[in-house]
């Protein structure tokens, strides 16, 4: 299980992070900060831990955003065995909307760059492939955030 966090500012801009040029699998790709849930760890606790480690900030983990995305399917099962989407043992990505603690300011402690991006520009980034599936939900959440802050 991988968890990723979506943080919006009052103008509906989303905080996105760029992996380093030396990243072994996805050099220079944009993603939502997060990472793997440790064994026995709660998803929300894992996400708050990752944001402390990667961005140096305390966040509150709010609602789920979008559907779960299958990153790597489970090994093929015999055709007669019914398996849920993605299969047991598949790695999936879940996204949560976040709120930033008072006075906190994210820093790129492990990423090459952080950027606040408007909903209209989300399509232009070189995302990790799976994240493209989240873009409609991210745009909708950005819109809601901008409306609430008016
Ligand atoms: N943090 C994060 N990971 C994502 C996103 N989209 C996506 O496909 N992933 C994938 C990339 C990684 O394979 C995995 C996250 O694991 P990680 O943050 O511990 O990264 P890592 O590079 O050490 O992972 P890995 O090479 O061991 O697979 O999830 C996203 O938006 N945020």
Question: What are the pLDDT digits (tens) for 94-119?
Answer: 999 999 999 999 999 999 999 999 99
| Residue 49 included in any domain | yes
| Residue 105 included in any domain | yes
| Residue 117 near residue 7, CB atoms below 8 Å | no
Quick one: residue 145, left, alpha or beta (phi over 0 = left, psi -120 to 50 = alpha)?
alpha
Ligand 1 atom, smallest distance to 34 CA: 1
- Report which of 44, 39, 38, 42 is spatially closest to residue 4, judged by C-alpha positions: 44
Range of the domain at 96: 2-74+87-118
| Residue 13 included in any domain | yes
Q: What is the pTM of this model?
A: 0.90
Ligand 1 mutation pick, 33, 36, 73, max ligand atoms within 8 A of CB: 36
Residue 136 neighbours by CB under 8 Å, 6+ apart: 66
| Residue 150 included in any domain | no
| Residue 29 included in any domain | yes
Confidence of residue 23 (pLDDT cuts 50, 70, 90): very high
| Residue 82 included in any domain | no
Quick one: CA torsion of 42, 85, 133, 29, rounded to 10 degrees?
A: 60
* SS3 state of residue 2: strand
Question: What are the pLDDT digits (tens) for 37-58?
Answer: 999 999 999 999 999 999 999 9
Query: Is the pLDDT at 77 greater than 60, yes or no?
Result: yes
| Residue 30 included in any domain | yes
Cα Rg of the chain, angstroms: 16
Binding site membership of 47 for ligand 1 (Cβ less than 6 Å): no
**What domain count does the chain have?**
1
Mean pLDDT value across residues 85-99: 86
| Residue 143 included in any domain | no
- What is the domain-level CATH number for residue 53? 3.90.79.10
Binding site membership of 125 for ligand 1 (Cβ less than 6 Å): no
pLDDT above 90: percentage of residues in the chain: 81
Query: Is the pLDDT at 28 greater than 60, yes or no?
Result: yes
């Amino acid at each position: 299980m991988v968890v990723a966090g979506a943080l919006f500012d009052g103008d509906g801009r989303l905080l996105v992070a760029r992996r380093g040029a030396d990243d072994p699998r996805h050099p220079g790709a944009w993603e939502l900060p997060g990472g793997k849930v440790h064994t026995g760890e709660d998803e929300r606790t894992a996400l708050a831990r990752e944001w402390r480690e990667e961005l140096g900030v305390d966040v509150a983990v709010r609602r789920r955003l979008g559907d779960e995305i299958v990153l790597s399917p489970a090994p093929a099962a015999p055709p007669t065995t019914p398996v849920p989407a993605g299969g047991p043992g598949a790695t999936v990505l879940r996204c949560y909307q976040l709120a930033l603690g008072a006075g906190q300011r994210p820093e790129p402690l492990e990423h090459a760059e952080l950027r606040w991006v408007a909903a209209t520009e989300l399509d232009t980034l070189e995302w990790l492939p799976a994240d493209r599936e989240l873009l409609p939900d991210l745009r909708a959440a950005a819109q809601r955030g901008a409306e609430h802050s008016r």
